[in-house]
Structure 1
Amino acid sequence: MTCMTTLASTLQPDACYLALKARDARFDGRFFTGVTTTGIYCRPVCRVRTPKRENCRFFDHAAQAESAGFRPCLRCRPELAPQSLAWSIQDAGSILAHQAARLLDEPEAWSDAAPTVEALAARLGVSDRHLRRIFETQFGVSPLQYLQTRRLLTAKQLLADTDLAVTQVALVSGYASVRRFNAAFAEHYGLSPTQLRKAGGSPTQGVEVRLGYRPPYDIDAMLGFFRDRAIAGVETVDAARRGLARTLAVESAGRIHSGWLAVSFDVERHQLVLRASEGLRAVLPQVIRRVRAMFDLDADPDAINASLHESFPKGDGLRVPGALGGYELAVRAVLGQQITVAAARTLAQRLVDRFGEKIETPVASLDRLFPSAQVLARAEGDALGQLGIVRQRQAAIVGIARAVADRTLQLHAGCDVEATMLALKQLPGIGDWTASYIAMRALRWPDAFPAGDVALHKALGVQGAKNAAREAEAASAAWKPWRSYAVIRAWYGANS
């Protein structure tokens, strides 16, 4: 059953109603249902009594439902739904609109400045008038309405799941003042932030939030990927309990916020449970965004499997592992050039032991942060060489660190993929493989394809070809725009 097309959209109301009746988690976040008799909009998985068909209106995005006057359900909580990401290699208008949405969704794309339509249009190289027209055609709301919904849903989640003060919730959700936050909340939701907190029950101890995903999801494969690459002191994976914990430092407004986080899976509810330390409270929205990217929680398995199932029938639950930070991932990608995963982990361990800052956590095995860009930017060649890192990779690591420290290079999901890959390849020691790998895992580009990867050649059976990279590239044409997922499936199939 398909209730909507992969791109924007023509919802099929009758099909959506069937998904709603079945509470089908595969459609979670792909549409929302507004109930005219209550004025509330819900996720397809909401456990309340199914409304009558004639009382239902269906929307592609939460922003559309709110623009139509509906309030979010306090039971199913639309802010927990995985986002609906669409990709195209043909429709220029759709590409522009979705890139704009990605920038609005990515807090790190704006440093310390709040996004505006003018700044967003300038970033995309179009006029603000053209951007508004394309965005409203694609999403049915203006860019500012879209951003307003994202901010309010972020605030709603923090109010319901944490004990953060209302003032702090307002600031970390992107509001310049508590007064504006209270006014927006009252206008859209018809109640004050403190009333919502009472409606949601008493706050949980500590900072704990839930993040939704769409099934199928191969949890063991994802955690296995991270376990094989885990650096002692920085991260630990408990496969038996299906959990992961690690340290993290996030820069925001010129300050470094450091701490630890732990995740576990609630399989029955199709949710990831995130617990973050006190030191990360002020940057919780950024942490949530990074964790969603790390575990690829916003992937749409139906769209991906439609393109890849025939070639990789055993990989329908696989996701593309991301990273908590693009800079860290880039350094680890350089360390992994042309060597095994185990050898790369050994080099990364030495790097952390030598340059990583110590940190105290309640988890006995977590006591180090990954070395910051500022630290590695000043690293002398001899110091890196003593760790067993060859000269070419020394130059690449220092080059990445300096570019990130100088803010001439950003590595997150809101970046322009083509421009960022070009910038990476202009650094010493960065070639096509490394740039593609960074694009796949740090930039969250679903169509990245490291055609020169030896393990990929073996998995695709082209390792004996005269030009294996060209053969792999040709074979990948049928998998666009999901070649990153094809790579993961090919690697997994070769190792299983």
Structure 2
Amino acid sequence: MELDPDTCYKAIASRDRRFDGRFFVGVSSTGVYCRPICAVRTPKPQNCSFYESAAAAEKHGFRPCLRCRPELAPGHGLADISGRLAQAAATLIEEGQMAESGVAGLAQRVGVSERHLRRLFEAQFGVSVLEYAQTQRLLLAKRLLTDTVMPVTEVALAAGFGSVRRFNDVLKARYGLTPLAMRKRAADAPADQFVFDLGYRPPLAWEALLGFLAARVVEGVEAVDGGAYARTLAVSSGRRTHLGWLRVEHVPARSVLRVTLSGSLAHAIPQALGKVRRLCDLGCRPDVVDRHLGVLADDLPGMRLPGAVDGFEIAVRAVAGQVVSVKQARVMLARLAAAHGPLLPQTHGPLQRCFPDAATLAALPAGALAACGVPPAKARAIQAIAAEVAQGRLLLEPPAEPEQTVARLCALPGVGDWTAQYVAMRALGWPDAFPATDYALRKVLEADGVRAVQAHAAQWAPWRAYAAVHLWRRYEESKP
């Protein structure tokens, strides 16, 4: 992103939320850096410098603003910037990947050499991979100290610091503060759960997103109630898998989603928050997407691409949904989760079990899926996908290359283009995925076949996945 100082200054002067997270402003007169929407008095132009990332601002000696809290800024979507690989790496860093495998493991996850990743990252963000990771650790620690009552020792470990002493030294050197100085709101936080705000760029069509998720709720795993979405969650961190639950509700006055996590996810907070960001597509630029979709988005601006907390789960949902109604697929998936999903340590209302993982389903004996009402062809497809994921041959998360992933999926028994494109949309968050063979899309477009659907959809590239969500909505609304 080219940072034109005049454009950036106009954005901060107007507190334009469309630029939130797109850049940060360092203010030389105060020594802090802010989001473009910070409510403080607008600084003089000569005191402002602009940076692509929080890490770049900190590299130049600025401390995070305690009022606008840069750690709450929304991130970038996959198609927002040219450096898709660098952004994928940044997302993994924000979700704690560096603490587990270092730069070498990070490069392996995004499919490039370590040297190439370092070069891409420096060019995209203006800082090294390690500098970016250090800033993310500090911002997470700042958030935990501000918003929770976790002991300082637990905060240091959750943020990826090896010791409390190291954490204290870095915090004091970078921010000039001690951990206790940041605990201004923590006294009001519940002890058995964690509450965080995740920012987005308005508008956000929350009711439509919630409606999409509600129509596909799997009993025992998910629930929609009172304008909020809740579900169980299994998060691998280090050598452990943490089981818990989350709840997401909309706070439109602040342009945030309020996320509540169960206390059992204390050691997997960055991973859990990253999953919510992907599920709700919080990196989206609705101004860009809606402008490109034109009249298709006019009656519902800010529609997000519904994502996933787990790519393998989406793949199973896609196979279960082949040539059956959404209701029939839900029944099938609920039986599968009840029979093979791990039970939560402490159930939470209707939330009882996590969705079974790939290793579990791959190891099931013949006939186990049939006992859950899964037809033989779908059972073979699910177990083929499960085996590929469990063995590490197939990655169903955003760092995966979309075209290659679609091709690998289509090579498996029982997996066609519709299933692969649906997985690319929701599991990979790929904005240009488009299931052209979908019956509802063909009906609402009044098209004569797949080629006609593809020809009509070409006008919406590279945002065809968003177009598909709008078209599905119109199809549902057209039903008698």
Q: TM-score, normalised by structure 1?
A: 0.89
1:271 paired to 2:256: yes
Of residues 117, 120, 137 in structure 2, which corresponds to 1:134?
Answer: 120
Residues 406, 131 of structure 1: CA spacing in aligned structure 2 closer, same or farther, 3 A cutoff? closer
Of residues 434, 438, 441 in structure 2, which corresponds to 1:453?
Answer: 438
Of residues 45, 49, 52 in structure 2, which corresponds to 1:57?
Answer: 49
What does 1:77-476 correspond to in 2, within 5 Å? 77-85=69-77, 87=79, 94-107=83-96, 113-116=100-103, 118-121=104-107, 128-197=114-183, 199=184, 202=187, 204-205=189-190, 206-238=193-225, 241-359=226-344, 361=346, 363-462=348-447, 465=448, 468-476=449-457
Deviation, 1:452, is 1.5
- Report the counterpart of residue 7 of structure 2 in structure 1: 15
Deviation, 1:98, is 3.2
Give deviations 1:435-471, integer Å, cap 9, x for gaps.
1111111111122111221212222221xx2xx2222
- Report the counterpart of residue 3 of structure 1 in structure 2: none
Contact conserved, 2:110 with 2:400, CA < 8 A, in 1? no
Deviation, 1:374, is 3.3
Of residues 441, 466, 470 in structure 2, which corresponds to 1:485?
Answer: 466
After TM superposition, which residue ranges in structure 1, 4 or more long, deviate above 6 angstroms?
A: none
Matched AA of 1:13: P
Contact conserved, 2:158 with 2:268, CA < 8 A, in 1? yes
- Report the counterpart of residue 37 of structure 2 in structure 1: 45
Deviation, 1:311, is 4.0
Contact conserved, 2:148 with 2:194, CA < 8 A, in 1? yes
Contact conserved, 1:88 with 1:481, CA < 8 A, in 2? no
SS in 1 for 2:246: strand
Residues 204, 103 of structure 1: CA spacing in aligned structure 2 closer, same or farther, 3 A cutoff? closer
1:25 paired to 2:14: no
Give deviations 1:43-80, integer Å, cap 9, x for gaps.
12222222223222222221221111111111111111
Task: Tell me which moved more, 331-340 or 378-387.
Answer: 378-387
Give deviations 1:208-251, integer Å, cap 9, x for gaps.
1111111110111111111111122211101xx32122222222
SS in 2 for 1:247: strand
SS in 1 for 2:260: strand
Residues 165, 426 of structure 1: CA spacing in aligned structure 2 closer, same or farther, 3 A cutoff? farther
Matched AA of 2:182: L
Deviation, 1:362, is 6.0
Contact conserved, 1:160 with 1:203, CA < 8 A, in 2? no
CA RMSD after TM alignment: 2.4
SS in 2 for 1:146: helix
Distance 1:181 1:242 in 2: 39
Unaligned runs of 5+ in 2: none
- Report the counterpart of residue 5 of structure 1 in structure 2: none
Distance 2:439 2:433 in 1: 16
Residues 421, 67 of structure 1: CA spacing in aligned structure 2 closer, same or farther, 3 A cutoff? same
Contact conserved, 2:195 with 2:258, CA < 8 A, in 1? yes
Residues 215, 175 of structure 1: CA spacing in aligned structure 2 closer, same or farther, 3 A cutoff? same
Distance 2:311 2:110 in 1: 21
Deviation, 1:128, is 4.4
Deviation, 1:316, is 2.0
Residues 164, 208 of structure 1: CA spacing in aligned structure 2 closer, same or farther, 3 A cutoff? same
Give deviations 1:371-414, integer Å, cap 9, x for gaps.
23333223333232233322111011122223333333332222
